[in-house]
Amino acid sequence: MTEPPQTPRSEIKQGFYNNNRIYVYSEKRGISDFAIILNSECEYLCEIGGVGGTANCPNNIFENLKNLELIWIDPR
């Protein structure tokens, strides 16, 4: 981690979507927020946000996340 910390800091949350464990990695990219959704095997599922407004996640994914909790935040 040689780059300075971002504001807000990058973080990882875990939760459940359709009874499957997922991870949400969030970071700030330029002037916009960006998130990557991974499954329990850390395989890419989808992403949302960023400068270009990428959005290839199901429309209801964030409404149907259950028990979302912070498990890591950039410590710098």
Per-residue pLDDT tens for 50-62?
777 778 888 778 8
Distance (Å, whole) CA 72 – CA 41:
17
Span 7-47, pLDDT tens digits: 678 999 999 999 999 999 998 766 778 899 999 999 999 99
pTM comes to: 0.81
CA dihedral sign, ordered 11, 18, 66, 60? positive
What's the 3-state SS for 32-68? EEEEEEEECCCCEEEEEECCCCEECCCCCCCCCCEEE
